[in-house]
Structure 1
Amino acid sequence: MAIIRAADAPQFQLPGVHFTGLAAPSRGSKGLCTWRLRVEAGLRSDAAHTLDRDEIFMVLSGTVQLTPNGEKLGPGDAAVVPAGEEIQLSNLGETDAELYVAITAGFTGTMADGSTVQPPWAQ
């Protein structure tokens, strides 16, 4: 069994978004990736992308908005974004939002410009 202690979990930062890596292949999980996501208050993302696997967002605190439908999610809500559907996440609230995210290991993201990524928090 692999244990990922909060104090030892790898940290990653993009403008306005903080990732705490949890389960991933490099941390003992062959099939699933999870991470904690903190989205700063007022962040309006312009980083639309698609993934080749279903992705699940689970809101712990705050309010976020997922496009393309602009659905607002609050604490206790979850969203399942099917593979291939465009994702854009924003926090229109006045406080940071905290979420857990889960996806199958080995996924690839495609950005709006056509470039592909395999983010380090999921490796």
Structure 2
Amino acid sequence: MPVIHATDAQVHEVHNTRFTSLIRPGTGSAELCVWQTEIAADSVGLPHRILGEEAFVLLSGEVTMSIDGESAPMKPGDAAVAPAGSMIGIANSTSEPAVLMVTVRVGFAAELPDGSTFTPPWAS
């Protein structure tokens, strides 16, 4: 069984958020991508439309998750699933970073507010 060690994971920093890529085609997965997302304190993520289903589990901190205009607070251990085609956003209004584990299928992409399509490198 191959193991991806945290020290070997690729890290990407975008919009006050750190994405640590753990499982993706580049590390041997054929179907799934898993990454850790750390959202800086007092920051709001860039709202975007996801072109595939995305699942989230909050590991630490607190966030507000918005899916298609419906917002709800999340505490550690809470989970959310955003359906393909939904508009999502995550906000951390606390003074501490928040950490989520996220999973999608290989080939995942998002549409940014300017209409461009983005395939995140942590999911390819």
Compare the two structures and name the one with the higher strand fraction. 2
Match of 1:4 in 2: 4
- What number of residue pairs does the alignment pair up? 122
Q: What value does the CA root-mean-square deviation take over the aligned residues?
A: 0.9
Q: How does 1:55-66 map to 2 (within 5 A)?
A: 55-66=54-65
So what's the TM-score if we normalise by structure 2? 0.94
CA distance in 2 between counterparts of 1:111 and 1:34 reads 21
Match of 1:120 in 2: 121
CA distance in 1 between counterparts of 2:63 and 2:87 reads 16
Q: How does 1:100-111 map to 2 (within 5 A)?
A: 100-111=101-112
Q: How does 1:37-76 map to 2 (within 5 A)?
A: 37-45=37-45, 47-67=46-66, 68-76=69-77
So what's the TM-score if we normalise by structure 1? 0.95
Q: How does 1:90-101 map to 2 (within 5 A)?
A: 90-101=91-102
CA distance in 2 between counterparts of 1:84 and 1:44 reads 20
Structure 1 unaligned spans of 5+: none
User: One-letter code of the match for 2:40?
Assistant: E
User: One-letter code of the match for 1:41?
Assistant: A
User: One-letter code of the match for 1:77?
Assistant: D
